[in-house]
Amino acid sequence: YSGTPRGAIYKGASNVVTNGATRVNSAGSYLSLDVTKSGKPVIVYFDSDNETLRIAYSTSAKPSMTDVDNGRDTFTRQTIPGVKGGTYVQAKIDQQNYLHIMYRDSDGQLCYIKSTNNPDGEKYEFKDPRMVIETSGTYGTLSLMNNNGTYVPCVAFLNSEGTANGVK
């Protein structure tokens, strides 16, 4: 690549998030990252200790991952209530800052949820009813289609893991 860099790579200590939900030992094997409209990072990840999805969000568009004085404590962890499972997670934030999440639940169903609020560096809220996309779907891709300011989730996923059963 040549030219002007268009992003940033953060490198620092692991487990630097100290605010919010308690840290767990088995997290991050499935994760997705996006940024809010103002550039604040939001990470959605699977907590295998508790079989649920969590979010780590930042109040800063330029968080430091190395020390408190430079923004380490700008990240906060939260658990998404009512979610069982969370493997193969994909997350997207629309231009209105709503968080859209697709994941595989503990029953092997491919599910979708959307936040009921649109914070920018604050806690996300969700209502429990999730949408089941497919009862046997596995990993896939989530995109958002802008339909005059309303964001419609579009998904493509493998129909059945470990087979040549095709993509839906």
As a whole number, the mean pLDDT across the chain is 82
Q: What is the pLDDT of residues 86-127, one digit of tens each?
A: 999 999 999 999 999 999 999 999 999 999 999 999 999 998
Q: Which residue has the tokens 């079989």?
A: 51
C-beta neighbour count of 46 within 10 angstroms: 25
Total-model pTM: 0.82
Dihedral sign (CA 34, 85, 153, 29)? positive
Beta-carbon contacts of residue 110 (< 8 Å; ≥ 6 apart): 88, 102, 103, 104, 132, 133, 134, 136, 137, 138, 140, 155, 157
Rounded average pLDDT over 65-91: 81
Distance of CA 78 to the CA centre of its chain: 11
C-beta neighbour count of 151 within 10 angstroms: 18
Q: How far apart are CA 43 and CA 41, in angstroms?
A: 7
Percent of the chain scored above 90 by pLDDT? Answer: 52
CA atoms within 13 A on the CB side of 75: 25
**HEC secondary structure over the chain:** CCCCCCCCCCCCCCCCCCEECCCCCCEEEEEEEEECCCCCEEEEEEECCCCEEEEEEECCCCCCCCCHHHCHHHEEEEECCCCCEEEEEEEEECCCCCEEEEEEECCCCEEEEECCCCCCCCCCCCCCCCEEEECCCCCEEEEEEEECCEEEEEEEEECCCCCCCCEC
In this prediction, residue 136 carries a pLDDT of 80
| 140 pLDDT above the threshold of 90 | no
In this prediction, residue 165 carries a pLDDT of 64
Of residues 164 and 63, which shows the higher confidence score?
63
pLDDT grade, residue 73 (50/70/90)? low
Q: How far apart are CA 91 and CA 69, in angstroms?
A: 29
Q: What is the pLDDT of residues 141-160, one digit of tens each?
A: 899 999 998 999 998 888 76
